[in-house]
Amino acid sequence: MDEKNNNLKGFNNFSKFLAIYLLVAVFMFYLYQYFTKVQVNNIPYSTFKELIKEGKVKSCTISDKYIKGVYIDKNGKKMHFITVAVNDPDLIKDLEAHNVKFSGKVTNTWLTNLIFGWILPFGFLFFIWWLMTKKMRGTSGGLFGFGKGRFKVYLNEKPDVKFSDVAGAEEAKQEIQEIVEYLKDPQKYQRLGGRAPKGVLLVGVPGVGKTLFAKATAGEAGVPFISISGSEFIEMFVGVGASRVRDLFNEAKKLSPCIVFIDEIDAIGKSRAFNSLTSNDEREQTLNQLLAEMDGFDSSKGVIIMAATNRPEILDPALLRPGRFDRQIIVDKPDVNGREAIFKVHMKKIKVGSDVDVKKLAQMTPGLVGADIANIVNEAALLAARENKDAVYMEHFEEAIERQIAGLKKKNRVIKEDEKKRVAYHESGHAICAYMLPGADPVHKISIIPRGLAALGYTQQLPMDDRYLLTKEEMIDRVITLLGGRAAEEIIFGSVSTGAQNDLSRATDIVRSIITQFGMDEKLGLMVAEEREGGRFLTSEGILTKGDRLSEKTKEIIDEEIVKILDECYAKAKEILINNKEKLLRLAELLLKKEVVDSEELKKVMEDNSGD
C-alpha cells in the first residue's frame, strides 16, 4: 500500500538521483581525461624520418593510416608523436637499421566500432536504467507510473475527523448520516431492495467545509478514505487522465467498503458544451472514463463516490443524472446558530477569556463561512499572544473580526485634521440615520481609524437575526443610511467629498434591484428587467441584463426611477440629520476625541436632549 501511495514521491526521488548521477558521471569522465591525458605532437613524415636517422625514435606502431610512437626530444624527455603514414618501402629497413621497436596495427572495422563503440555502452546504460525503474513501473501505470492514480489513501486510523468536529450545517449532516449508516450496515437497506446512492455531490461556496464533511463521513463510518483533487487527473500526456480514473476505481474496489472523494471535480467535469470552441481532448477523455466507471460501478460493494465543487452550474449534465451523482447536498453558509456552533468548535483549541460572548460574535459575522471563522479565532489568539495576555478576550475577537471585514488598522497613516473631521461627520451621519430608521440594522461600532486600502472610517452594523426576505421599506431605509454620510458632509461643510463613492455604488445597486428585479416600482410594475445570473444550486453576484428585450423607453424609465428614488432617499437623510443636528455635532466631537464609539455611547448621545 505504501509503495502505491508513494509513486509520485518515488518518481521525484528517482529524477533527483538520475540528475546527480549524470553530473557525477560527467565530472568523473573529465577528471579521468585530465589526469590520463597524454600530450601527442603531430609531426610531418619528413621530421619522423629525420628523428629515425638521428636515433631518437624509440618505438612506433604502424597502421595503414597513422604512425604513432615515442621519441626523445632535445632535452632528453620522452614525447609521444603521430604522423600520417605514406607509401615508403624503405621505412622498415630504416627502423631495423636504427634499432627502433615497431609493430603493426589493423584498423577497426565498422562492425567492431558499432559493437564496442555504441551497442555495448548504450546496452549497459539501458540495463542500469531498467533495474532502477523496475519498481516504478505498474501494470496500469505505464512508464514511470504516469497513469497511476495520484490519490491519497487514509486507512482506519485516518481521518480522525468526526461529525462532532463539523458544525454549522445540520441539514447537510443529516443527509450524509444516511451514507454512514449504509457503510456500517449495508444489509439493513439491501434486504428491502434499496441501494445506496452511487455518488454524493457536495455543493457550496468556498470555505463552508465540503472537504471536512467528506473526511468526517469516512471518520464516522470507520472505512478507508481515498482522496484526490480533480486537477491531479490532468497531465500533459493524452490518455493519462483516463488511466488514472481506472486506477482509482480499481483501488476503490480492493479497499471496499470505502469512500472515494474527488475535490474540485469541476476541473475534469466541466460541461462539454462549454468546451465546444476550446476543446480539450484529454479532459474530455478523462470525463468520459469517469462516466463509464460510475455507470459500471456497483454501489452494493460498499464504495461511495463523493465529490465537491463550488461551481455546479458548469458541470456536465451527464454527471448529475440519476445513477451517477444521485444525491446533491448543498452545504450552505451557516446561520447565526451555526456560526455560534462553529466558534465553539474552534475555541476548544485555545484558552478563552471569561468575557467572551460567543452569541455576540456570531451576530457580528453575518455571511462568513467556517474557514473565515477559523481564521478569526486564530487571529484573535495571535493578537492575544502578541500582547502577552493569559487568555484570548472579547477585544481580541472583535479586532480579528474587524480585520477580516475591513482590513488592518492604519494607525500610522497621516490624515489632515480637516479630513479627519470630515470623516467623523460622515460616519456620524451613517450612524444617526441607522439609529433613527426602523428598517436599518442596529449600529454596533463607529470608527474613524483607517483600515485596509481605502477605508478612512466605517460604521459597523449588526443584524439581530439572519434575514432571508426584505421589504421595500427596509431596503429604502438601508439606502437612506448609506446616503447619510454624504448628507452630513453637505449639511456641516456645505460641500461633498469623494469619500461617499462606495456608499453611492451600493445604494444605486439596491435601488436598481428594487426596480428591475423585485417588481417594487410603481411605473415599471411587475416586469423583471434584470435577473441574477446563477446555476442550478447556487447563485452568483453577477447581473445578467435582458438588454435585447427592453425598449429604449423602458430603459429611460428605469434610469429616471433610479434617480428619483435616490433623490428622495437623500432628501430623507438630510431631513433626519437636520432635525438631529445637535446630536450630529456631539457624536462627531466624541468620535474625534475617542476615534471609536460603541453602541452604548451612541445611545447616550441620541437620548440626551439637553442640548436640543
Catalytic residues: 427
Identify residue 170 by its one-letter amino acid code: E
349, three cell numbers? 483549541
From CA 237, how far away is CA 240, in angstroms rounded?
6
From CA 596, how far away is CA 200, in angstroms rounded?
48
Q: In a 10 Å sphere around its CB, with 0-12 CB exposed, 13-18 middle and 19+ buried, how is residue 269 labelled?
A: buried
Phi-psi region of 367 (alpha: psi -120 to 50; beta: other; left: phi over 0): left
Pick from 214, 297, 208, 194: which is nearest to 251 by CA?
297
From CA 329, how far away is CA 495, in angstroms rounded?
53
Element (H, E) at 544: strand 539-545
> Contacts from 46-53 at CB under 8 Å and sequence distance 24+?
47/83, 48/81, 48/83, 49/94, 52/94, 52/95, 52/98, 52/100, 53/94, 53/98
Q: 523, 557 in Cβ contact below 8 A?
A: yes
Strands 101-104 and 57-62: parallel
Which residues make Cβ contacts (< 8 Å) with residue 554, sequence separation at least 6? 524, 529
3-class secondary structure per residue, 146-191 = CCCCCCEEECCCCCCCCHHHCCCCHHHHHHHHHHHHHHHCCHHHHC
- The b-or-e profile of 580-594 (16+ CB within 10 A means b, else e) is beebbebbbebbbee
348, three cell numbers? 476548544
Pick from 356, 361, 448: which is nearest to 409 by CA?
448
How many Å from the N-terminal Cα to the C-terminal Cα in the chain?
A: 80
From CA 519, how far away is CA 527, in angstroms rounded?
6
Q: In a 10 Å sphere around its CB, with 0-12 CB exposed, 13-18 middle and 19+ buried, how is residue 610 labelled?
A: exposed
| Cα pseudo-dihedral 524, 528, 532, 533, rounded to 10 | -140
Q: In a 10 Å sphere around its CB, with 0-12 CB exposed, 13-18 middle and 19+ buried, how is residue 94 labelled?
A: middle
**Edge-to-edge strands, sheet with 443-447:** 458-461, 443-447, 596-598
From CA 4, how far away is CA 8, in angstroms rounded?
9
Q: 402, 460 in Cβ contact below 8 A?
A: yes
From CA 609, how far away is CA 408, in angstroms rounded?
36
